[in-house]
Amino acid sequence: MLQLHVANIAINISADEHTSAMLTKNYSGLFHTATSGAQIDYSTSYQTDSGHYHITRAGNETYSYDNTADFIYFFEKDLTLELQKLRPDLFFLHSAALTFNTKTILIIGHSGAGKSTTSWALTHHGFEYFSDELSPIDLNNMHVTGYPHAICVKQDPPAPFLLPQTAMVTSRTKHIPVENLAAGVAVGTAKITHIFFVHYKPEQHEVSIQAISPALASAKIYANALNQLCHEKSGLPAATKIARACDSYTLEFNNVEQACLEIRQLIRPYI
């Protein structure tokens, strides 16, 4: 039995040896001492003869997947949806979150924009890790709650941020366990101070960081939210409130090391 803990929600997972190994690689940063009264219950298994993974959530039907990538992806998707149902008070963003000293940043970008690779690189620059994919935000105080599963990248990161030997590699993704993060995992919650909307551009010769208005930031935040309709007026005031509470920037780059240095330099005057 594994137990995860996210945003004060306990998740029990009954897993066989094979699926337990996969989930441990991906969710070790969310492990919690097992207690009774979990709000979400899963059962997972792997059939050696067929090569199929099975996922059952209590009260729901069993789903079958024929590869590790789909097993991890659809387990994560189902868990994310269930968390949103149980915590509609939180504003869920598809975003990475990291903290450096007293400042906490969000890294937002579409698939392939470099969000996860940038997050992995920032952990080599003293940033503690909150999340790679999911950032639940308390709109009352602008605090983000950690969701520190393994950092998931689609391509091999560039030097000097090479994949560790302990990374879990599937047919489509590469997962870096939190035990490999030099600066460690942040605990609890932290107030968001900066948002970076990242875009990796191979043709970009220099790193470009541009401050953007709260209006533009609001639109970008809204486009990357997962549960807008749970909130007043379809979440538009919530996105605006987050944008007004933070300094927001676009970040275009082709050199992730230089991008990390620029991010640190930008937030350094605030420390």
Per residue in 14-49, pLDDT tens? 999 999 999 999 999 998 766 667 999 999 999 999
Calculate the alpha carbon distances from 142 to 128, 157, 186, 239 in Å. Answer: 18, 31, 16, 11
Query: pLDDT by residue (tens digit) across 203-258?
Result: 888 999 999 999 999 999 999 999 999 999 999 999 999 999 999 999 999 999 99
Residue range 230-240, pLDDT digits in tens = 999 999 999 99
> Length of the chain, please?
271
**What number of CA atoms fall less than 13 Å from residue 91's CA on the CB side?**
27
Q: How confident is the model at residue 187 (pLDDT cuts 50, 70, 90)?
A: confident
| Domain ranges (residues) in the chain | 2-87, 91-270
Residue-wise pLDDT tens digits, 97-115: 999 989 999 999 988 889 9
Location of structure tokens 């030997």: 165
Q: Does domain 91-270 match CATH 3.90.228.20? A: yes
pLDDT of 67 over the 70 cut:
yes
DSSP string, 147-198: B---EEESSPPPTTSPPPTT-EE-SS-EEE-GGG-TT-B--SEEEEEEEEEE
* CA distances from residue 244 to 193, 212, 213, 234 in whole angstroms, order as listed: 10, 11, 9, 18
Note the pTM of the prediction, 2 decimals.
Answer: 0.94
